[in-house]
Chain A
Amino acid sequence: MVEVQDANAVYAGAFDNPVFQSQAVFRALMDGMARPGTVVAIDASAVPPEPMGRGAGAIALTLCDTDTPAWLTQTQAQSAVPAWLAFHTGAPVTDVKPEARFAFVEAGAMVPGFNQFALGTQDYPDRSTTLVIEIAALSGGPAMIGAGPGIKGEVEISPVGLPDIFLTLWNENRSVFPRGVDLVLVAGDAALCLPRTVKLRRKEA
């Protein structure tokens, strides 16, 4: 149950203008998915309860509804976030990872292995989880080189705050194509999308 002092956190913090703001956030995500590795600005006027960040909250308001079970980290699941999601989007929270259409991981939390989520099937590869992972920053970290559809030649990304084994997890995810999860990395008001098609490797110094 939500405590009374959390009421404001639960019932406030959605878009002032849901039609146009969710359109703007979606277009940023669409551009980001179509051009992996480019940093896109997220209209972050959503204020979800702690520990969910504003960017991730805006994405949840834009894409989640009653049709999309969401998986939350344990910290988020025990906060006011499930109630906020339920009130503003109607999205049910699930703790069964393969049932989740979206998964939200706040900054600093442990990122579960991607293959624990829905990867889709060979017949229906679209039935997979989209992971929204909040990290410290989208640039300034160890450099990786990305290539694939949507990328002209190659693109360099350097997110800060991903787990050390990220490249291993990602390459495993790549290897089951066309199945696999898609990632949205969020830091503050900016996002960087990594659809399953992206090939990543460590940049040699």
Chain B
Amino acid sequence: MTDLATYNFAYLDEQTKRMIRRAILKAIAIPGYQVPFASREMPMPYGWGTGGVQVTAAILGPDDVLKVIDQGADDTTNAVSIRAFFQKVANVAVTTKTKDATIIQTRHRIPEEKLGEGQTLVYQVPIPEPLRFLEPRETETRKMHALEEYGLMHVKLYEDIARNGHIATTYAYPVKVEGRYVMDPSPTPKFDNPKMHMSDALQLFGAGREKRIYAVPPHTQVVSLDFEDHPFEIQHFDKPCALCGAEQVYLDEVVLDDRGGRMFVCSDTDHCEDRRAHGHVGHLLAQEAAE
């Protein structure tokens, strides 16, 4: 049974890859503009990263080293299954170490470690259109992008301030790319928005169900929308990570028991593990060691 038919390298057929590749090149040439593409059915449901998977499959080569994260973690369901998928259909090397990876597919986080020149970050995007919840008609949002008419987005942010006293959008915070297109950075926490600005790495975004690909080339301006008197701010955390003591990183809340016990730990598991391997100890680990 050794002559069983196998999938083409990286699952997709060559014509599909060419179509996606052409879309990627146009997306890079028009930063922040959503290029329509003929998204295929993938062997996973829409909403599980079919857009990101198709982009990764189209750019992946045998020499690449792939890392997949889901909310910063390498070991959660979505990350594990997509990593296993590419090991199976492309026999590609995988890693959990951010600095070793050439392609990082991500669901809603940007790694804490600064990305470099040779790296490509592929985002899984559920709703690529930043104006969609303000204007449901595709024909209208397309016209708004064409005319660079983004007043509605500023009204939305203003209404946030009027109701809450501050801009209450905490994730999928809209950005303007190179002074032209308003773009949805995918539902990453706004904590990650500054990392997109002038990044050394190429950033590609794939939305499978919505059939859109867009891109931010390296060294490109990505500015979070704000007002002069209400400037953009990222989240701040009171305490450092309970396991590795890291500050200035994005933390997840983890409930520990049914008596209100909780801890805050790094959302980026690789960053946390790396710090602990280098001897950094958070207060909870230190407490445990003492007991």
Contact = CB atoms under 8 A, between A and B. Distances in A.
A195 interface: yes
Contacts of B234: none
B218 interface: yes
B202 A30 contact: yes
Interface residues of A, number: 40
Nearest to A89: B18
A197 B178 contact: yes
B178 A67 contact: no
A19 B30 contact: no
Interface in A164-197: 177-178, 182, 195-197
Contacts of B276: none
Given A20-B62, A27-B59, A30-B59, A149 B8 contact: no
A161 interface: no
Contacts of B8: 19
Interface in B193-230: 202, 215-221
A148 B216 CA distance: 12
B217 A150 contact: yes
Contact of A149 (B18, B22, B61, B220): B220
Nearest to B143: A123
B285 interface: no
A152 B201 CA distance: 12
Given A22-B14, A30-B59, A30-B202, A178 B28 contact: no
**Which has the most chain A C-beta neighbours within 10 Å: B19, B25, B59, B62?**
B25
Interface of A: 18-20, 22-24, 26-27, 29-31, 33-35, 62-65, 67-68, 101, 121-126, 128, 130, 148-152, 177-178, 182, 195-197
* 7 cross-chain pairs, A with B, having the tightest CB-CB distances, nearest first: A195-B29, A150-B217, A126-B26, A149-B220, A122-B146, A33-B28, A34-B202
Interface of B: 8-9, 14-15, 17-19, 21-31, 33, 35-36, 58-62, 142-143, 145-147, 178, 180-181, 202, 215-221
